[in-house]
Amino acid sequence: QYGTDAIAGVINIITKKAYRGGRIAGMYGSYDGGGGETGDLSGNLGFEPSSAGYLNVTGEVRGRGRSNQGGIDERVINPTTLSTYPGSNMPRVPGYPYITMIEGDAQIHTALASIKAGWEMASGTELYAFATYGDKRAASYENYRLPTKLHYTDPVTGITSYPYPLGFNPQEATREQDFSLTGGAKGAASGWHWDLSTVYGRDRLELYTRDSANAGIYNSTGRATPSTYFDGTLQMTQWTTTIDVDRDFDAGLAAPLNTAFGMEYRRETYRIGAGIPVSYELGGGQSYPGFSPADAGSNDRQNVAAYVDLSGKPVDRLGLDAAGRFEHYSDFGSATVFKLAGRWDASPAFAIRGTVSDGFRAPTMAEEFYSSTTVTPTTAYVQMPPNSAGGKLLGLGNGLQPEKSVN
Protein backbone atom coordinates (compact mmCIF):
# COMPACT_ATOMS: atom_id res chain seq x y z
CA GLN A 1 0.00 0.00 0.00
CA TYR A 2 1.69 3.07 -1.34
CA GLY A 3 0.38 5.86 0.86
CA THR A 4 -2.75 7.89 1.27
CA ASP A 5 -1.82 10.22 -1.61
CA ALA A 6 -1.26 7.45 -4.20
CA ILE A 7 -4.55 8.17 -5.97
CA ALA A 8 -3.39 8.41 -9.58
CA GLY A 9 -1.01 5.45 -9.50
CA VAL A 10 2.52 4.41 -8.70
CA ILE A 11 5.62 4.26 -10.88
CA ASN A 12 7.37 0.93 -10.41
CA ILE A 13 11.06 1.35 -11.26
CA ILE A 14 12.94 -1.89 -11.95
CA THR A 15 16.67 -1.52 -11.32
CA LYS A 16 19.31 -3.56 -13.12
CA LYS A 17 20.84 -6.47 -11.21
CA ALA A 18 22.94 -8.06 -13.97
CA TYR A 19 26.36 -9.07 -12.63
CA ARG A 20 28.06 -9.62 -15.97
CA GLY A 21 28.04 -8.15 -19.46
CA GLY A 22 27.48 -4.60 -20.59
CA ARG A 23 25.90 -2.32 -23.14
CA ILE A 24 26.81 0.95 -24.83
CA ALA A 25 24.60 3.09 -27.05
CA GLY A 26 24.82 6.44 -28.78
CA MET A 27 22.50 8.74 -30.71
CA TYR A 28 22.77 11.97 -32.69
CA GLY A 29 20.12 14.04 -34.42
CA SER A 30 18.94 17.53 -35.34
CA TYR A 31 16.07 19.35 -37.00
CA ASP A 32 15.77 19.51 -40.78
CA GLY A 33 15.60 23.27 -40.59
CA GLY A 34 18.68 23.55 -38.38
CA GLY A 35 19.20 23.76 -34.65
CA GLY A 36 18.25 21.36 -31.90
CA GLU A 37 21.37 19.24 -32.30
CA THR A 38 21.07 16.38 -29.84
CA GLY A 39 23.63 13.81 -28.80
CA ASP A 40 23.37 10.99 -26.28
CA LEU A 41 25.87 8.42 -25.02
CA SER A 42 24.97 5.80 -22.43
CA GLY A 43 26.48 2.65 -21.01
CA ASN A 44 25.81 -0.10 -18.51
CA LEU A 45 28.21 -2.62 -16.98
CA GLY A 46 27.77 -5.45 -14.50
CA PHE A 47 30.34 -6.86 -12.09
CA GLU A 48 30.53 -9.88 -9.79
CA PRO A 49 32.75 -8.86 -6.86
CA SER A 50 31.97 -12.24 -5.18
CA SER A 51 29.85 -15.30 -5.80
CA ALA A 52 27.24 -13.90 -3.41
CA GLY A 53 27.16 -10.32 -4.68
CA TYR A 54 26.63 -8.12 -7.70
CA LEU A 55 27.40 -4.56 -8.76
CA ASN A 56 25.74 -2.78 -11.67
CA VAL A 57 26.72 0.67 -12.95
CA THR A 58 24.96 2.90 -15.49
CA GLY A 59 25.93 6.28 -16.88
CA GLU A 60 24.54 8.65 -19.49
CA VAL A 61 25.51 12.00 -20.97
CA ARG A 62 23.04 13.93 -23.10
CA GLY A 63 23.17 17.33 -24.75
CA ARG A 64 20.69 19.34 -26.79
CA GLY A 65 21.42 22.54 -28.65
CA ARG A 66 19.23 25.58 -29.13
CA SER A 67 16.70 26.13 -31.85
CA ASN A 68 14.94 29.29 -32.97
CA GLN A 69 11.40 28.95 -34.27
CA GLY A 70 10.36 32.56 -33.73
CA GLY A 71 9.00 34.95 -36.30
CA ILE A 72 9.82 38.60 -36.91
CA ASP A 73 9.44 40.82 -33.86
CA GLU A 74 7.31 43.76 -34.97
CA ARG A 75 9.28 46.11 -32.72
CA VAL A 76 12.54 45.63 -34.63
CA ILE A 77 11.07 46.51 -38.03
CA ASN A 78 8.99 49.48 -36.88
CA PRO A 79 10.06 52.45 -39.04
CA THR A 80 9.59 54.87 -36.15
CA THR A 81 11.95 52.85 -33.97
CA LEU A 82 14.52 52.44 -36.76
CA SER A 83 14.56 56.12 -37.65
CA THR A 84 16.34 57.30 -34.50
CA TYR A 85 19.38 56.30 -32.48
CA PRO A 86 19.88 53.80 -30.94
CA GLY A 87 17.00 51.92 -32.58
CA SER A 88 18.72 52.46 -35.89
CA ASN A 89 21.43 50.03 -34.71
CA MET A 90 19.13 46.99 -34.65
CA PRO A 91 19.71 45.93 -38.28
CA ARG A 92 23.31 45.26 -37.23
CA VAL A 93 22.22 42.61 -34.70
CA PRO A 94 23.18 39.08 -35.92
CA GLY A 95 20.16 37.26 -37.35
CA TYR A 96 18.13 40.45 -37.88
CA PRO A 97 15.11 40.62 -38.09
CA TYR A 98 14.79 37.19 -36.35
CA ILE A 99 16.45 38.38 -33.16
CA THR A 100 13.81 37.41 -30.60
CA MET A 101 14.72 33.80 -29.80
CA ILE A 102 12.28 32.97 -27.00
CA GLU A 103 10.39 30.54 -29.29
CA GLY A 104 12.50 27.40 -29.50
CA ASP A 105 14.40 24.79 -27.55
CA ALA A 106 16.59 25.64 -24.60
CA GLN A 107 20.20 24.52 -24.45
CA ILE A 108 20.44 21.54 -22.08
CA HIS A 109 23.27 19.34 -20.86
CA THR A 110 22.54 16.38 -18.59
CA ALA A 111 24.80 13.86 -16.88
CA LEU A 112 23.26 10.87 -15.08
CA ALA A 113 24.67 7.98 -13.09
CA SER A 114 23.24 5.11 -11.07
CA ILE A 115 24.70 2.20 -9.16
CA LYS A 116 23.00 -0.88 -7.72
CA ALA A 117 24.67 -3.43 -5.45
CA GLY A 118 23.55 -6.45 -3.51
CA TRP A 119 25.04 -9.18 -1.36
CA GLU A 120 23.40 -12.34 -0.01
CA MET A 121 24.58 -13.42 3.41
CA ALA A 122 24.96 -17.03 4.49
CA SER A 123 21.81 -16.67 6.61
CA GLY A 124 19.77 -15.89 3.50
CA THR A 125 19.40 -12.20 4.31
CA GLU A 126 20.09 -9.95 1.32
CA LEU A 127 21.70 -6.54 1.72
CA TYR A 128 21.12 -4.05 -1.08
CA ALA A 129 22.02 -0.48 -1.93
CA PHE A 130 21.08 1.87 -4.74
CA ALA A 131 22.20 5.38 -5.60
CA THR A 132 21.42 7.87 -8.36
CA TYR A 133 22.90 11.22 -9.34
CA GLY A 134 21.85 13.74 -11.94
CA ASP A 135 23.32 17.08 -13.01
CA LYS A 136 21.27 19.17 -15.44
CA ARG A 137 22.29 22.55 -16.82
CA ALA A 138 19.97 24.55 -19.02
CA ALA A 139 19.67 28.03 -20.51
CA SER A 140 16.85 29.55 -22.53
CA TYR A 141 16.48 32.91 -24.26
CA GLU A 142 13.86 35.39 -23.17
CA ASN A 143 12.43 38.31 -25.15
CA TYR A 144 14.89 40.63 -26.88
CA ARG A 145 15.37 43.97 -25.13
CA LEU A 146 15.50 47.07 -27.34
CA PRO A 147 18.58 49.34 -27.22
CA THR A 148 16.48 51.94 -25.40
CA LYS A 149 15.71 49.59 -22.52
CA LEU A 150 18.75 50.89 -20.63
CA HIS A 151 19.25 54.65 -20.73
CA TYR A 152 20.53 57.27 -18.34
CA THR A 153 20.46 61.04 -18.81
CA ASP A 154 23.24 62.89 -17.00
CA PRO A 155 21.59 65.70 -14.98
CA VAL A 156 24.55 67.99 -15.60
CA THR A 157 25.35 67.49 -19.28
CA GLY A 158 21.91 66.33 -20.41
CA ILE A 159 23.58 63.58 -22.45
CA THR A 160 21.72 60.25 -22.58
CA SER A 161 23.82 57.08 -22.48
CA TYR A 162 22.81 53.73 -23.95
CA PRO A 163 25.13 51.00 -22.61
CA TYR A 164 23.64 48.37 -24.96
CA PRO A 165 23.39 50.13 -28.34
CA LEU A 166 22.50 46.83 -30.05
CA GLY A 167 20.02 45.76 -27.36
CA PHE A 168 20.43 42.42 -25.63
CA ASN A 169 18.93 38.93 -25.31
CA PRO A 170 18.74 37.89 -21.64
CA GLN A 171 18.74 34.24 -20.70
CA GLU A 172 17.28 32.31 -17.82
CA ALA A 173 19.64 29.55 -16.72
CA THR A 174 19.46 26.76 -14.16
CA ARG A 175 21.66 24.13 -12.64
CA GLU A 176 19.82 21.24 -11.03
CA GLN A 177 21.52 18.56 -8.95
CA ASP A 178 19.49 15.58 -7.81
CA PHE A 179 20.66 12.55 -5.88
CA SER A 180 19.21 9.69 -3.86
CA LEU A 181 20.72 7.03 -1.62
CA THR A 182 18.94 3.80 -0.72
CA GLY A 183 20.03 1.07 1.67
CA GLY A 184 18.16 -1.91 2.94
CA ALA A 185 17.94 -5.55 3.91
CA LYS A 186 15.36 -8.24 3.27
CA GLY A 187 14.91 -11.84 4.25
CA ALA A 188 12.62 -14.34 5.93
CA ALA A 189 12.09 -15.50 9.49
CA SER A 190 9.55 -18.06 10.82
CA GLY A 191 7.68 -17.93 7.53
CA TRP A 192 7.45 -14.14 7.46
CA HIS A 193 9.08 -12.19 4.62
CA TRP A 194 10.42 -8.79 5.62
CA ASP A 195 12.01 -5.80 3.87
CA LEU A 196 13.54 -2.85 5.74
CA SER A 197 14.85 0.12 3.77
CA THR A 198 15.71 3.80 4.08
CA VAL A 199 15.91 6.33 1.26
CA TYR A 200 17.30 9.86 1.31
CA GLY A 201 16.96 12.18 -1.66
CA ARG A 202 17.68 15.82 -2.39
CA ASP A 203 16.90 18.05 -5.36
CA ARG A 204 18.58 21.47 -5.52
CA LEU A 205 17.89 24.03 -8.24
CA GLU A 206 20.11 27.10 -8.69
CA LEU A 207 18.67 29.91 -10.82
CA TYR A 208 20.62 32.50 -12.81
CA THR A 209 19.93 35.35 -15.22
CA ARG A 210 22.59 35.86 -17.89
CA ASP A 211 23.41 38.46 -20.53
CA SER A 212 21.13 40.88 -18.74
CA ALA A 213 21.16 44.13 -16.77
CA ASN A 214 19.24 45.78 -13.97
CA ALA A 215 17.38 48.50 -15.84
CA GLY A 216 15.83 49.93 -12.67
CA ILE A 217 19.23 50.67 -11.13
CA TYR A 218 20.93 51.92 -14.30
CA ASN A 219 18.06 54.10 -15.50
CA SER A 220 17.71 55.83 -12.13
CA THR A 221 21.37 56.14 -11.09
CA GLY A 222 23.56 55.50 -14.13
CA ARG A 223 25.43 52.89 -12.10
CA ALA A 224 26.63 49.93 -14.12
CA THR A 225 25.14 46.57 -13.12
CA PRO A 226 26.34 42.98 -13.61
CA SER A 227 25.46 40.98 -16.70
CA THR A 228 25.05 37.73 -14.73
CA TYR A 229 22.89 37.34 -11.61
CA PHE A 230 22.50 34.58 -9.06
CA ASP A 231 18.74 34.56 -8.44
CA GLY A 232 18.54 32.08 -5.57
CA THR A 233 17.83 28.41 -4.92
CA LEU A 234 14.95 26.00 -4.52
CA GLN A 235 15.71 22.83 -2.57
CA MET A 236 13.68 19.88 -1.38
CA THR A 237 14.67 16.77 0.56
CA GLN A 238 12.91 13.58 1.58
CA TRP A 239 14.07 10.89 3.98
CA THR A 240 11.81 7.84 4.11
CA THR A 241 12.24 4.69 6.17
CA THR A 242 9.90 1.75 5.55
CA ILE A 243 9.40 -1.80 6.80
CA ASP A 244 7.13 -4.26 5.00
CA VAL A 245 6.21 -7.73 6.29
CA ASP A 246 4.06 -10.42 4.68
CA ARG A 247 3.19 -14.11 4.94
CA ASP A 248 0.83 -16.65 3.40
CA PHE A 249 -1.50 -18.59 5.71
CA ASP A 250 -3.52 -21.71 5.04
CA ALA A 251 -6.99 -20.56 6.13
CA GLY A 252 -8.99 -23.29 4.40
CA LEU A 253 -9.68 -21.09 1.36
CA ALA A 254 -9.20 -21.87 -2.30
CA ALA A 255 -5.73 -20.26 -2.06
CA PRO A 256 -3.49 -19.18 0.81
CA LEU A 257 -4.48 -15.99 2.61
CA ASN A 258 -1.76 -13.38 2.22
CA THR A 259 -1.32 -11.07 5.20
CA ALA A 260 0.85 -7.99 4.88
CA PHE A 261 1.52 -5.02 7.10
CA GLY A 262 4.08 -2.27 7.38
CA MET A 263 5.10 1.08 8.77
CA GLU A 264 6.74 4.20 7.33
CA TYR A 265 8.35 7.39 8.58
CA ARG A 266 9.08 10.33 6.27
CA ARG A 267 10.67 13.72 6.86
CA GLU A 268 10.50 16.42 4.18
CA THR A 269 12.14 19.83 3.92
CA TYR A 270 11.59 22.70 1.50
CA ARG A 271 13.88 25.70 1.26
CA ILE A 272 14.02 28.92 -0.76
CA GLY A 273 17.38 30.71 -0.77
CA ALA A 274 17.69 34.42 -1.64
CA GLY A 275 19.66 35.71 -4.60
CA ILE A 276 22.24 38.47 -4.58
CA PRO A 277 20.73 41.91 -3.78
CA VAL A 278 21.14 43.34 -7.27
CA SER A 279 19.09 40.39 -8.62
CA TYR A 280 15.91 41.71 -6.97
CA GLU A 281 16.50 45.41 -6.22
CA LEU A 282 14.47 47.82 -8.40
CA GLY A 283 13.13 44.99 -10.56
CA GLY A 284 16.27 42.89 -10.67
CA GLY A 285 17.89 41.57 -13.81
CA GLN A 286 15.83 41.85 -16.98
CA SER A 287 13.64 38.77 -17.64
CA TYR A 288 13.74 37.25 -14.14
CA PRO A 289 13.93 38.86 -10.69
CA GLY A 290 15.72 36.93 -7.96
CA PHE A 291 14.25 35.72 -4.69
CA SER A 292 14.39 38.38 -1.99
CA PRO A 293 15.13 37.73 1.71
CA ALA A 294 11.38 38.12 2.32
CA ASP A 295 10.78 35.14 0.00
CA ALA A 296 13.52 33.00 1.55
CA GLY A 297 12.79 30.47 4.24
CA SER A 298 13.04 26.85 5.32
CA ASN A 299 10.20 24.54 6.31
CA ASP A 300 9.88 20.89 7.24
CA ARG A 301 7.29 18.30 8.20
CA GLN A 302 7.11 14.66 9.30
CA ASN A 303 4.57 11.95 8.82
CA VAL A 304 4.21 8.40 10.12
CA ALA A 305 2.08 5.66 8.63
CA ALA A 306 0.97 2.08 9.17
CA TYR A 307 -1.02 -0.28 6.95
CA VAL A 308 -2.48 -3.78 6.85
CA ASP A 309 -3.54 -5.77 3.79
CA LEU A 310 -5.41 -9.08 3.46
CA SER A 311 -5.87 -10.86 0.14
CA GLY A 312 -7.04 -14.32 -0.80
CA LYS A 313 -9.48 -16.50 -2.74
CA PRO A 314 -12.57 -17.64 -0.83
CA VAL A 315 -13.47 -19.87 -3.81
CA ASP A 316 -11.88 -20.65 -7.13
CA ARG A 317 -11.94 -17.82 -9.65
CA LEU A 318 -12.82 -15.17 -7.00
CA GLY A 319 -10.09 -13.03 -5.47
CA LEU A 320 -10.71 -10.45 -2.74
CA ASP A 321 -8.41 -7.80 -1.25
CA ALA A 322 -9.00 -5.52 1.74
CA ALA A 323 -6.54 -2.92 2.99
CA GLY A 324 -6.41 0.03 5.35
CA ARG A 325 -3.79 2.68 6.01
CA PHE A 326 -3.37 5.29 8.74
CA GLU A 327 -1.14 8.37 8.40
CA HIS A 328 -0.37 11.30 10.64
CA TYR A 329 1.07 14.53 9.20
CA SER A 330 2.73 17.02 11.52
CA ASP A 331 1.02 19.88 9.66
CA PHE A 332 -2.38 18.38 8.73
CA GLY A 333 -3.22 15.82 11.38
CA SER A 334 -4.38 12.25 10.83
CA ALA A 335 -6.08 10.40 7.99
CA THR A 336 -7.34 6.84 7.51
CA VAL A 337 -8.07 5.35 4.10
CA PHE A 338 -9.30 1.96 2.93
CA LYS A 339 -9.52 -0.16 -0.18
CA LEU A 340 -11.74 -3.11 -1.14
CA ALA A 341 -11.09 -4.95 -4.37
CA GLY A 342 -12.37 -8.06 -6.07
CA ARG A 343 -11.92 -10.04 -9.28
CA TRP A 344 -14.09 -12.84 -10.63
CA ASP A 345 -12.75 -14.91 -13.50
CA ALA A 346 -15.95 -15.99 -15.21
CA SER A 347 -13.92 -17.90 -17.81
CA PRO A 348 -10.32 -18.04 -19.04
CA ALA A 349 -11.22 -15.25 -21.48
CA PHE A 350 -13.52 -13.03 -19.44
CA ALA A 351 -13.24 -11.44 -15.99
CA ILE A 352 -15.01 -8.79 -13.95
CA ARG A 353 -13.15 -6.74 -11.41
CA GLY A 354 -13.91 -3.72 -9.26
CA THR A 355 -12.38 -1.55 -6.56
CA VAL A 356 -13.75 0.97 -4.08
CA SER A 357 -11.41 3.14 -2.05
CA ASP A 358 -10.94 6.58 -0.63
CA GLY A 359 -7.92 8.87 -0.78
CA PHE A 360 -6.20 11.68 1.06
CA ARG A 361 -3.57 13.98 -0.47
CA ALA A 362 -1.71 16.56 1.59
CA PRO A 363 -0.43 19.60 -0.33
CA THR A 364 3.24 19.42 -1.21
CA MET A 365 5.58 21.69 0.69
CA ALA A 366 6.23 23.73 -2.44
CA GLU A 367 2.49 24.31 -2.79
CA GLU A 368 2.35 25.43 0.82
CA PHE A 369 5.42 27.66 1.04
CA TYR A 370 6.55 28.90 -2.40
CA SER A 371 6.95 32.68 -2.43
CA SER A 372 8.24 35.24 -4.94
CA THR A 373 8.37 39.03 -5.22
CA THR A 374 8.53 41.14 -8.39
CA VAL A 375 9.15 44.89 -8.19
CA THR A 376 9.62 47.14 -11.23
CA PRO A 377 9.84 50.94 -11.49
CA THR A 378 6.07 51.07 -12.07
CA THR A 379 4.53 47.88 -10.62
CA ALA A 380 4.96 45.39 -7.80
CA TYR A 381 3.35 42.08 -6.95
CA VAL A 382 3.98 39.30 -4.46
CA GLN A 383 3.09 35.63 -4.70
CA MET A 384 2.48 34.75 -1.08
CA PRO A 385 2.60 31.28 0.47
CA PRO A 386 -1.02 30.21 0.99
CA ASN A 387 -0.16 28.84 4.43
CA SER A 388 1.37 32.09 5.68
CA ALA A 389 0.20 34.82 8.02
CA GLY A 390 -0.14 37.13 5.03
CA GLY A 391 -2.32 34.57 3.30
CA LYS A 392 -4.71 34.63 6.25
CA LEU A 393 -4.98 38.43 5.95
CA LEU A 394 -6.04 37.92 2.33
CA GLY A 395 -8.90 35.70 3.43
CA LEU A 396 -7.35 32.31 2.77
CA GLY A 397 -8.18 31.12 6.28
CA ASN A 398 -5.85 28.29 7.27
CA GLY A 399 -4.41 28.03 3.78
CA LEU A 400 -4.32 24.92 1.63
CA GLN A 401 -6.08 21.90 3.07
CA PRO A 402 -5.76 18.20 2.19
CA GLU A 403 -7.74 16.83 -0.72
CA LYS A 404 -10.07 13.89 -0.09
CA SER A 405 -11.57 11.56 -2.64
CA VAL A 406 -13.77 8.51 -3.06
CA ASN A 407 -12.87 6.25 -5.95
107 or 400, higher pLDDT: 107
- Global pTM value: 0.88
pLDDT of amino acid 153: 96
pLDDT of amino acid 14: 83
The rounded radius of gyration (Å) of the Cα atoms in the chain is 29
pLDDT of amino acid 9: 61
Mean pLDDT, residues 120-134 taken together:
95
Q: What is the pLDDT of residues 349-358, one digit of tens each?
A: 999 999 999 8
Q: Is the confidence at residue 5, as pLDDT, over 60?
A: no
Cis peptide before 94 (omega within 30 of 0): no
Calculate what percentage of the chain has a pLDDT beyond 90.
77
Q: Is the confidence at residue 189, as pLDDT, over 60?
A: yes
Q: Are 159 and 144 in contact (CB under 8 A)?
A: no
Mean pLDDT, residues 72-77 taken together:
91
Lowest mean pLDDT among 225-234, 269-278, 333-342, 371-380: 371-380
Most confident option among 268-277, 355-364, 390-399:
268-277
Q: Is the confidence at residue 7, as pLDDT, over 60?
A: no
Mean pLDDT, residues 297-303 taken together:
95
Task: Give the whole-angstrom CA distance, residue 72 versus residue 94.
Answer: 13
Most confident option among 5-9, 61-65, 67-71, 141-145:
61-65
Q: Is the confidence at residue 100, as pLDDT, over 70?
A: yes
